[in-house]
Amino acid sequence: MSTSPSRVAVFGAGYVGLVTGACFAELGHSVVVRDVIPERIAALQRSEVPIYEPGLEELIARNGERLHFTGDVGEAIDGADFVYIAVGTPPTYSGDADLSAVWTVIDELPAIDRRCVVVMKSTVPVGTGLKVRHRLDERGLNLVGYASNPEFTAEGTAVKDFLHPDRIVVGAFKDEDGDAVARLHAGIEAPVVRSDVASAEMIKLAANAALMTRISFINEIANVCEATGADVVRVAEGIGLDRRIGPSFLRAGIGFGGSCFPKDSLALKQLAANSGYHFQLLNAVIEVNELQKRRVIGKLHSHLGSLRNKRVALLGLAFKPHTDDMREAPSLVLAGRLLAEGADVIAWDPVVDGHDLHGVEIADAPEAAALGADAVVIVTEWPQLADVDWAAVGGTMRTRVLIDGRNMLDPAPLRAAGFTVEGIGRAADPGIA
Ligand code: UGA
């Protein structure tokens, strides 16, 4: 594979666009990231990174010479060998992916009289590539190739995931375009899966659906464990050691959230439905997840009775640790349900500034959130929570009830400190059984 540096334009300075741009710069390419939000570009030009993603700020700083930011389409496209599209594709009211930002990028492309490749990084419905190809042809951009190169990076580990992926997927209409996109990744050690465009689009959606299915599966096993006295942590360990099953994504909890799974599950469900297929399993995965977020409320009821005027501390707001992303976070559903039940809700998160959560009080430390509380709920497994002196915290609470929504703490010392502890799918507290 040739390693000669290329010129890459990246449209979209969100999580995916910034990580993609910074990582290609790290690989030695010259990158211009373009976004429509002037404040975002201005901040990036001042070396301020508008999102929290471990390692990203350092990567951007280190590659400053090869990485530029602009609001101008012409400047981004000038001399580009690749035009990466990394714009948002949020769900519409119908559940279909909203591709308007993708179409805007395609329509804004200036006349290009040399060979370059438009590469789709955004998650899009199967069939989008073909439609984009037609639109490029209609616009007379026949020299511009098209490829799908889906992303599999997870927030919080995105830089590492990009530079050390399990695989790179490239789907193209023409082999030479696929070859070029594969070459662009020279320096990354990973198998490259080459396919047609539709299959690359489906690989992305199917990968996320498989991961979500595992989570809803283990959450249902957890719920049956609760009903039968088994411990899902041991069960997950026991099944995960089977090489055919594997240990990943078997952590039972209060459901998945984030900017990807909820959106992509709806998009795939809708894609199937639009094609006349009722995707039963995926529908169940989505429904199980919705119910799972609400199970904590039932647990609180069983320990506290009515939640009216009860003080409940939510520890962690982000949809998972090491991110400030609140999109579809289970904490939003929990806070909403608790407020609706008349509880006083106080929350802590080390990164999320929850001041826009109406009716929720924000504490600056887990200990402060728990002060005078009737119950604490671990919503996000931030590592800081493992270092809390829970025995001391228990002494400041009105009632020592702890619901561990992520099964992160060892319940034995907590019980020894007088807590009533309940996890997800774990043997009930002997003290309360
Ligand atoms: C996910 C995928 O992991 C990435 O491969 C993919 O590229 C990305 O979506 C995307 O489509 O852009 P992400 O949403 O950042 O990445 O986060 P994950 O670490 O996958 O977690 C998603 C949710 O599942 C979180 O709410 C997490 O708490 C939950 N989860 C995860 C569980 O409840 N149990 C598990 O065992 C694993």
Residue 41 token pair:
């570009």
Is the C-alpha dihedral spanning 12, 14, 17, 23 positive or negative? positive
8 Å CB contact between 29 and 52: no
What is the C-alpha to C-alpha distance for residues 115 and 99, in angstroms, rounded to an integer? 25
Non-local CB neighbours of 125 within 8 Å, separated by 6+ positions: 96, 97, 99, 201, 205, 267, 270, 271
Question: Is 425 a pocket residue for ligand 1 (Cβ < 6 Å)?
Answer: no
Question: Closest by alpha carbon to 170, among 197, 143, 145?
Answer: 197
- E runs forming strands in 28-143: 30-34, 67-70, 82-85, 116-120
Of 396, 399, 408, 383, the C-alpha closest to 431 is 399
Q: Is the pLDDT at 1 greater than 50, yes or no?
A: no
pLDDT above 80: residue 9: yes
Contact yes or no for 144/114 (Cβ under 8 A): no
* pLDDT category of residue 2 using cuts at 50, 70 and 90: very low
Q: What's phi and psi for 201, nearest 5 deg?
A: -60, -40
**DSSP assignment letter at 379:** -
Query: Is ligand 1 within 6 A of the CB of residue 250?
Result: yes
CA–CA separation, 373 vs 357, rounded Å? 19
3 state SS of 395: helix
In this structure, which residue's CA is closest to atom 23 in ligand 1?
256
The whole-angstrom separation of Cα 51 and Cα 57 is 9
Element (H, E) at 334: helix 330-340
Six-digit token pair at 387?
Answer: 């270092």
260 is catalytic: yes
User: What is the mean pLDDT of the segment spanning 237-243?
Assistant: 98
Q: What is the pLDDT of residues 69-112, one digit of tens each?
A: 999 999 999 999 999 999 999 988 888 889 999 999 999 999 99
3-state secondary structure 292-304: HHHHHHHHHHHHH
Distance CA 76, CA 66 (A): 13
The residue with tokens 């007379």 is 140
Among 60-69, 97-106, 327-336, 421-430, which stretch is predicted with the lowest mean pLDDT?
Answer: 421-430
Q: Is 253 in the pocket of ligand 1 (CB under 6 A)?
A: yes
Instruction: Determine contact, residues 247/241, Cβ cutoff 8 Å.
Output: yes
**Distance from the CA of 259 to the center of ligand 1, in angstroms?**
9
Report how far ligand 1's centroid is from the alpha carbon of 215 (Å). Answer: 9
Residue nearest to atom 13 of ligand 1 (CA): 154
Which of 23, 116, 225, 260 is flagged as catalytic?
260
For residue 433, the model assigns a pLDDT of: 39
- pLDDT at position 138 is 96
pLDDT for position 429 = 53
Whether residue 431 is predicted with pLDDT greater than 70 in this model: the reply is no
**How many of the other CB atoms lie within 10 Å of CB of 273?**
15
Out of 53, 153, 217, give the residue to mutate to test ligand 1, the one with the largest number of ligand atoms within 8 Å of its CB.
153
Distance CA 421, CA 402 (A): 5
CA of 20 to the centre of ligand 1 (A): 18
Out of 90-94, 146-150, 308-312, 342-346, least confident range? 90-94
Structure tokens at 388: 């809390």
Residue nearest (by alpha carbon) to ligand 1 atom 11 = 260
Q: pLDDT-derived band of residue 366, with 50, 70 and 90 as boundaries?
A: very high
SS3 of 101-120: HHHHHHHHCCCCCCCEEEEE
| 150 CA: nearest ligand 1 atom | 7
Task: Kindly state if the Cβ of 152 falls inside 6 Å of ligand 1.
Answer: yes
> Which residue has the least CA distance to atom 1 on ligand 1?
154
**If you take atom 19 of ligand 1, which residue's CA is the nearest one?**
154
**321 CA to centre of ligand 1 in angstroms:** 11
Residue 411 has which token pair? 């319940």
Residues whose CB is less than 8 angstroms from the CB of residue 19 and which lie 6 or more positions away in sequence, other chains included: 53, 56, 153, 158, 159, 162
**Residue 151 CA: which ligand 1 atom is closest?**
7
pTM: 0.94
Structure confidence at residue 428 (pLDDT):
63
Query: Rounded to whole angstroms, how far apart are CA atoms 274 and 283?
Result: 14
* 118-174 pLDDT tens trace: 999 999 999 999 999 999 999 999 999 999 999 999 999 999 999 999 999 999 999
What does each C-alpha distance from 425 to 228, 236, 278, 330, 407 come to in angstroms?
Answer: 10, 11, 30, 17, 9
- Residue 284, CA distances (Å) to 220, 225, 245, 289, 292 in order: 11, 19, 20, 8, 12
Reported as a single tens digit per residue, the pLDDT across 43-60 is: 999 999 998 899 999 999
**328 Cα–ligand 1 center, Å:** 12
**Percent of the chain at pLDDT above 70?**
98
Helices (H) and strands (E) in the chain, counts: 16, 14
Ligand 1 atom nearest to CA at 249: 36
211 Cβ below 6 A of ligand 1: yes
Report whether 232 contacts 424 (CB < 8 A).
Answer: yes
Strands (E), 309-411: 311-315, 344-348, 360-362, 375-378, 401-404
Mutate to test the pocket of ligand 1, among 23, 167, 211 (most ligand atoms within 8 A of CB): 211
H or E, element range at 42: helix 38-45
Q: What is the mean pLDDT of the chain?
A: 95
Query: Does position 432 have pLDDT exceeding 50, yes or no?
Result: no
